[in-house]
Chain A
Amino acid sequence: MEASEEKTEKPSSGVSAAQRRAELRRRKLLMNSEDRMNRIVGFAKNDSDNSGNIVIVRLEPRFHLDLDRTQPWSSSSPSPRPSELPGASLEDEMGGLRQRAKLERGDDLSGSPRRSLQQYLSRFDDAMKLRSQLANDKQAQDGGSDSEELDPFRIFRLIGSVLLAVFVRVFVCKYLSIFAPFLTLELAYMGLSKYFPKVEKKTQTTVLTAALLLSGIPAEVISRSMDTYRRMGDVFSDLCVYFFTFIISHEIVLLIASEAP
């Protein structure tokens, strides 16, 4: 009788034990959501024993992202806040001191983990976007030619440089250096640039610009530097065309002079 009663009690107690275990597991999962998130984002954490003698050491700033949390913060927080410390009783002096020091450090960092994570995620998104832009620009460069674009003002500059070089060779070079008229021409171009339609040049994403963007340099600074670099490139192009035309015209003049009787 008793055995049968025990047998009948066992299944019911087994069911209830199974239910109890399931309930415990569910609670454990809900309580440890923060630990799981920390493990996912890679924060190191040494769990302490429940006895309270061993101090919880948090090496990285605490990060809490619990979307399905049902219980309040303080009940499941593995380490107490510093505000709770004065009221807490310290069973072991050494452990308590260590705990206080580490908690203070954790509290200082508690304001920044979310910001740092957001900053990291935003930088990661930027890196992914720049990578796709780089791939697109590289495809465009492979598909098209790698030549420089010639807008009307640029063509005007080059023609002006050619004409000035010929003029300087014929009339001016005997009296002064050939670079003096060139500098005057460049100054004139600076003034004339506003009278020409401005062509918006699409900034190409290169590895250099991507690296500069990711290193924290503002995009405005990068675009201004690129613009300055482009202007210097234009002046260099003008100089090369000017000098080339000068030398060619000089050689042609010599050739004509030598062939003349």
Chain B
Amino acid sequence: MGEIPGRQSPDAGSSNLSSSSASLRCSTAGTPRRRLLNMAWFLVLSSVFLCNLMKTLLPSISSFLTKMVQKDAEQESEMRAEIHQMKKEQSSISMMDEFARYARLERKINKTTDKLKTHVQSRTAQQAKMKWVVNIVFYILQAAVMISLIWKYYSDPVTVVPPKWIAPVERLVAFPTGVAGGVGITCWLVVCNKVVTLGLSAIS
């Protein structure tokens, strides 16, 4: 973002800031370009929204990636179908009359079931590993986004209002910018995070 005329640095005296914030809004309000440049609050809000949305979609993403990575997924369904078929055949056989065939089928079923169990265990382990990797990558990305936002807006407020509106907590709200009447990045991040979480939980 370019330097906006009328916006003073935090080093300037706070006595001038209350008037400057009002003049800031007046000077920037008339120019659409500057208005767009001043939409820091919207940028933070959209970043938080995207992060929370990705968080809710993480399980789907990890299962999708697992299916892509897994090569022998059809084998499991074939084994299940085979076991089902053998059980069906076994139920039609009388154990008393055809014990040998019954026992042979039983052994086959057991063998295939063991194979299926091993396959399912390896698939589950792979799924858990993929889920873990996806979660780690997501949290690293989220941390990077948040840190970059805080770095960018450390000294600039995301938006400015007249200080008396947010008295007596104007200093807390403005942290860490120090601009009276400004809304600091930390306060806005917390508020956006809470609201987006509530909104997404209401939708889901």
User: Which A residues lie at the B interface, using CB under 8 A?
Assistant: 145, 147-148, 150, 155, 158, 173, 177-179, 236-237, 240-241, 243-244, 247, 250-251, 254-255, 257-258
> CB within 8 A of A148: which of B29, B167, B169, B198?
B198
Chain B nearest CB: distance from A102 CB in Å?
Answer: 57
Chain B nearest CB: distance from A168 CB in Å?
Answer: 9
Quick check: which of B85-93, B145-153, B188-196 contacts chain A, the rest being far away?
A: B188-196
Contacts A177-B166, A250-B161 given: A241-B195 contact, CB under 8 Å? yes
B183 and A247 within 8 A (CB):
yes
A254 and B201 within 8 A (CB):
no
A244 and B192 within 8 A (CB):
yes
Alpha-carbon distance between A258 and B194 when the two chains are bound, in angstroms = 30
Q: A158-B198, A179-B166 are in contact. List 19 more A-B contacts (CB 8 A).
A: A148-B197, A148-B201, A150-B198, A150-B201, A150-B202, A173-B165, A177-B167, A179-B167, A179-B169, A240-B190, A241-B194, A241-B198, A244-B191, A244-B194, A247-B41, A247-B159, A255-B35, A258-B30, A258-B32
Alpha-carbon distance between A233 and B200 when the two chains are bound, in angstroms = 17
- In B161-199, the 8 Å CB interface with A consists of 161, 164-169, 183, 188, 190-192, 194-195, 197-198
* Cβ-closest chain A residue relative to B164: A177
A147 and B197 within 8 A (CB):
yes
By secondary structure, the B interface counts as helix
Chain B residues with CB under 8 Å of A254's CB are 25, 29
Highest count of chain B CB atoms <10 Å: which of A145, A177, A179: A177
A178 and B165 within 8 A (CB):
yes
Chain A residues with CB under 8 Å of B41's CB are 247, 251
Chain B nearest CB: distance from A141 CB in Å?
Answer: 12
Chain A nearest CB: distance from B198 CB in Å?
Answer: 6
Q: Is B124 an interface residue (CB 8 A)?
A: no
A147 and B201 within 8 A (CB):
yes
Q: Is B118 an interface residue (CB 8 A)?
A: no
A258 and B35 within 8 A (CB):
yes
* Cβ-closest chain A residue relative to B160: A250
Alpha-carbon distance between A150 and B198 when the two chains are bound, in angstroms = 9
Chain B nearest CB: distance from A228 CB in Å?
Answer: 19
Fill in one digit per residue for B103-140: 1 if any A CB lies within 8 Å of its CB, else 0. 00000000000000000000000000000000000000
Contacts A177-B166, A177-B168 given: A243-B191 contact, CB under 8 Å? yes
Chain B residues with CB under 8 Å of A247's CB are 41, 159, 161, 183, 188, 191
* Cβ-closest chain B residue relative to A240: B194
> CB within 8 A of A236: which of B42, B168, B194?
B194
Chain B residues with CB under 8 Å of A241's CB are 194-195, 198
B201 and A251 within 8 A (CB):
no
Q: Is B77 an interface residue (CB 8 A)?
A: no
Alpha-carbon distance between A82 and B192 when the two chains are bound, in angstroms = 73
Alpha-carbon distance between A222 and B174 when the two chains are bound, in angstroms = 36
Q: Is B14 an interface residue (CB 8 A)?
A: no
Chain A residues with CB under 8 Å of B166's CB are 177-179
Chain B nearest CB: distance from A27 CB in Å?
Answer: 53
Q: Is B23 an interface residue (CB 8 A)?
A: no
Q: Is B94 an interface residue (CB 8 A)?
A: no
Chain A residues with CB under 8 Å of B42's CB are 251
Please list 26 pairs of residues, one from A and one from B, whose beta carbons are closer than 8 Å in the complex, sorted by A's number. A147-B201, A148-B198, A150-B198, A150-B201, A158-B198, A173-B165, A177-B164, A178-B165, A178-B166, A179-B166, A237-B194, A240-B191, A240-B194, A244-B191, A244-B194, A244-B195, A247-B161, A247-B183, A247-B191, A250-B159, A251-B42, A254-B25, A257-B29, A258-B30, A258-B32, A258-B35
> CB within 8 A of A177: which of B165, B191, B194?
B165
A-B residue pairs, 10 tightest by C-beta: A147-B201, A240-B194, A258-B29, A177-B167, A244-B195, A240-B191, A244-B191, A173-B165, A148-B201, A178-B165
B204 and A145 within 8 A (CB):
yes
Chain B nearest CB: distance from A103 CB in Å?
Answer: 59
* Cβ-closest chain B residue relative to A158: B198
> CB within 8 A of A147: which of B29, B164, B195, B200?
B200
Q: Is B56 an interface residue (CB 8 A)?
A: yes
